[in-house]
Amino acid sequence: MKMKMEDSVAAVEKIIGYTFRNKNLLEEALTHSSYPESVSYERLEFIGDAVLGHAISNHLFLVYTNVDQRQLSLLRSANVSTEKLARAAVSNCLHRYIRLKTHSLAEHIREFAAAVEQEKGRAIVLYGGAVKAPKVLADVVESVAAAVYVDLDFDLKKLWVVIRGLLEPIVTLNDLEQKPQPVTMLYEICHKNGKKVDIRHSRNGDKSTASVYVDGELFAVASSDQKDIAKLDAAKSAVQKLERVLPITTTTPDNCKGLDGTFEIEEPKQKLYALCGRKKWPTPVYSIERDEGTPQNKIFVTSVQVATPDGTLKMLGEEKSRVKDSQNSAASLMIRALLQGQLV
């Protein structure tokens, strides 16, 4: 190895707190396919993608003993997404040691690193920030993990001890609940404003395009080499536009209103529970958001959260004088939102 690469290997070993027996593995993990006359990280990335997913799955399974498969899948996806792993690369300065010969890619990495620097001190970014994450950064994290895994004779437990620090902060269930997925937010805003949303996909060569239609009109478009990222980016763009032009209010169909003008469904809590059971979703979670007034004149406002395949949907009920009634109000609005969004 050249001296420069030896220095890079030593620096990365210090970052991850592990000294390689076979240092060529780490050199390979840091080498992009554009770098001439060198073995790239592509083979290591192949195994790293799988082993990181496996390691994270084990961790989540042990930590969240009462969480179902769907929520565990959402947590795993959030922790191994391109955006998450790319931020891990920048936060740990791995991007400084990647060998590549593509100017545009190097510039993209610099722009992303600068954007991540601006995110410091803010809440965890789950679905992308000001600059889209370069996939090469996530690839390098996967490749470094694979290099450690191979060097440890494929010992998954030892790998997790080494690599966990690189992945911090690990996305928690609370993080997902506090930051609903953009697709879920898109549906929720449209539900509240009585609008129909439709996301359509098309593919042209290696690019997947997601198009968001609101009430039948094209509203936002995004493209990516990955279908899921295109969908997320299109949803984020649509949400930003909708929040500028739509009031965030709840409209209620006349045939679903009670005598006082509120939204009502008979036995909504039971119906929402049964609905989630049929869809194999987690049990709805109710939380009292407001508890005000005197004992003789109480006011309660309750929220309900339902975890769907697209993320967590949260609805706030109307003011009620009893907790039970406030829960029923939240459940009624949640059922309507799910029906209007064609999620059930």
- 219-270 pLDDT, tens digit each: 999 887 667 778 878 888 898 888 777 754 433 333 333 333 344 567 788 8
The reply to whether 128 falls in a domain is yes
At residue 209, the pLDDT reads 92
Of 177, 198, 233, the residue at which a domain comes to its end is 177
Shared domain for 165 and 313, answered yes or no, is no
At residue 220, the pLDDT reads 93
pTM: 0.59
* Separation CA 231–CA 268 (nearest Å): 32
Q: Which domain holds residue 306?
A: 268-341
Shared domain for 15 and 79, answered yes or no, is yes
Bridge partners, 202 (sequence order)? 209
* Separation CA 291–CA 269 (nearest Å): 20
Q: Which residues contact 72 (CB under 8 A, 6 or more apart)?
A: 57, 60, 61, 64
Q: Taking all residues of the chain, what is their mean pLDDT, rounded to a whole number?
A: 84
Q: Which of 242, 264, 244 is nearest to 195 (CA)?
A: 242
Confidence band of 140 (pLDDT split at 50, 70, 90): very high
Shared domain for 45 and 155, answered yes or no, is yes
The reply to whether 236 falls in a domain is yes
Shared domain for 152 and 10, answered yes or no, is yes
Shared domain for 58 and 81, answered yes or no, is yes
The reply to whether 263 falls in a domain is no
At residue 254, the pLDDT reads 38
Percent of the chain with pLDDT over 70: 88
At residue 295, the pLDDT reads 74
The reply to whether 288 falls in a domain is yes
Q: How many domains does the chain have?
A: 3
Q: Which CATH number characterizes residue 148's domain? A: 1.10.1520.10
Percent of the chain with pLDDT over 90: 40
The reply to whether 253 falls in a domain is no
At residue 34, the pLDDT reads 94
The reply to whether 257 falls in a domain is no
Shared domain for 29 and 99, answered yes or no, is yes
- Write the single-letter amino acid at 100: L
Confidence band of 170 (pLDDT split at 50, 70, 90): very high
Query: What is the per-residue pLDDT across 292-344, written as a single tens digit (0 to 9) for each?
Result: 887 777 788 898 988 887 677 888 888 888 888 888 888 888 887 777 555 55
Shared domain for 40 and 110, answered yes or no, is yes
Shared domain for 85 and 151, answered yes or no, is yes
Shared domain for 126 and 25, answered yes or no, is yes
The reply to whether 54 falls in a domain is yes
Q: Is the pLDDT of residue 25 over 70?
A: yes
What mean pLDDT comes out for the span 198-218?
90
More confident residue, 138 or 250: 138
Backbone dihedral region of 37: left (phi > 0), alpha (psi from -120 to 50 degrees) or beta? left
At residue 280, the pLDDT reads 82
Q: Which CATH number characterizes residue 216's domain? A: 3.30.160.20
Of 157, 177, 197, the residue at which a domain comes to its end is 177
For residue 119, give the H/E element and its range: none
Shared domain for 72 and 134, answered yes or no, is yes
At residue 226, the pLDDT reads 65
Bridge partners, 286 (sequence order)? 304
Bridge partners, 311 (sequence order)? 308
Asked if 62 contacts 76 with a C-beta cutoff of 8 angstroms, the reply is no
Shared domain for 113 and 230, answered yes or no, is no
More confident residue, 55 or 270: 55
Least confident of 160-164, 165-169, 234-238: 234-238
* Backbone CA torsion sign across 20, 90, 46, 155: positive
Bridge partners, 294 (sequence order)? 297
Q: Is the pLDDT of residue 33 over 60?
A: yes
Of 177, 207, 235, the residue at which a domain comes to its end is 177
* Backbone CA torsion sign across 41, 42, 43, 44: positive
At residue 37, the pLDDT reads 85
The reply to whether 67 falls in a domain is yes
Q: Is the pLDDT of residue 28 over 70?
A: yes
At residue 252, the pLDDT reads 36
Shared domain for 68 and 130, answered yes or no, is yes
What mean pLDDT comes out for the span 11-19?
96
More confident residue, 139 or 196: 139
At residue 123, the pLDDT reads 65
